[in-house]
Structure 1
């Protein structure tokens, strides 16, 4: 599958306005588009950051949907959005463990890699990293997103609650260090978010 992400920053006091719009009008617009498979909304209320994801059957479905969403996106996110960036990825690895929960936690690791290494990174992640993350209590889903052209990627680890997210930090740090060394990836960012909504139809 393929994913479009939006990364938005703004006034923390206004973030709930954007969340409500995305979870109502925004979701209705997405549901109307062919190839739609689900969405997620994640927030950092303290700093004023919002991460949105929409999942698609194909790159064409994602691209066609963006022609519609582009005209509505700014209005949906006002008055919160001060900055807005759009990212596109292939969902190279998706491992569901249990259903995510509202109020749970998402840890995002951003990284860069040499584009010819994309398949090797996905194979290593699937065989070596996923089993280690599955052993962490409270894991709901783990994903590997890749932009093969730009050589950028994201690992997302969803946990059922805040306590599980916090308790997993050391275990995931160890796995992150190992894969960064063996797969020659360069970690460029590490963030944590609260889960507002996350539902993906994987089958």
Structure 2
């Protein structure tokens, strides 16, 4: 699958306005597009951050959808959005053990790597990281997204509830350290979000 992420920062007091627009107008627009496989909305209410992700069956269906979403995105995110960054990725790993739910948590790890090591990263993640994450109570889903050309990636790990997200920090740190060393990647960012909505169909 292929993924588009929209990372938005702004006034925390206006965040719910953007959530309502994305949950209503945004999802309706996405669901009309061929190749749509699901989406998610994740927020940091304290700092005023919103991460929206949409999943697509093919790279072409993702590109086609962006023509529509680019025209409507600004109006849906007003008046919250002060900065908006859009990125595109290929999903090399999608591992779901149970359906994530609203009120759960997302841990997002940002990576940089040599583009020639993309397949090594995917193999290492499947063989070394996923089995360790599977032992964590409350794990719902983990995925590895990469931009092969730019040598950048995201690891998203979703938990069913906030308590499980918090309890997993030490164990996931150990798995992250081991995986980064084996796959020759650099961790450039680590963030946590509340899950507002997610419904990705990985089949």
TM-score, scaled relative to structure 2: 0.99
Structure 2 counterpart of 1:25: 25
CA offsets per residue over residues 84-110 of structure 1, 9 Å max, x none? Answer: 000100010000011101100000000
For 1:55, the equivalent position in structure 2 comes to 55
> For each residue in 1:18-58, what CA deviation from the matched residue of structure 2 results, as whole angstroms up to 9, or x when unmatched?
00000000000001111001000000000000000000010
Q: How does 1:37-52 map to 2 (within 5 A)?
A: 37-52=37-52
Residue 166 of structure 1 is matched in structure 2 by: 166
Q: Matches of residues 176-187 of structure 1 in structure 2 within 5 Å?
A: 176-187=176-187
Corresponding residue number in structure 2 for 1:126:
126
The structural deviation recorded for 1:181 is: 1.2
Report the Cα offset of residue 136 of structure 1. Answer: 0.3
Distance in 2 between residues matched to 1:48 and 1:197, nearest whole Å? 17
Corresponding position of 2:64: 64
CA distance in 1, matches of 2:141, 2:201: 13
Structure 2 residue matching 1:84: 3-state secondary structure: strand
- Tell me the distance in 1 between the aligned counterparts of 2:20 and 2:177: 37
Residues 1:105 and 2:96 are matched in the alignment: no
Q: Number of paired residues?
A: 203
Q: Which residue is equivalent to 2:140? A: 140
Please list every run of 5 or more consecutive structure 2 residues that lacks an aligned counterpart in the other structure.
none
Per-residue deviation, 1:202:
1.5
- RMSD over equivalenced CA pairs, Å: 0.5
User: In the alignment, which residue of structure 2 is the partner of 1:89?
Assistant: 89
Shift of 1:121: 0.6
Q: Partners of 2:55 and 2:183 in 1: how far apart? A: 26
Match of 2:36 in 1: 36
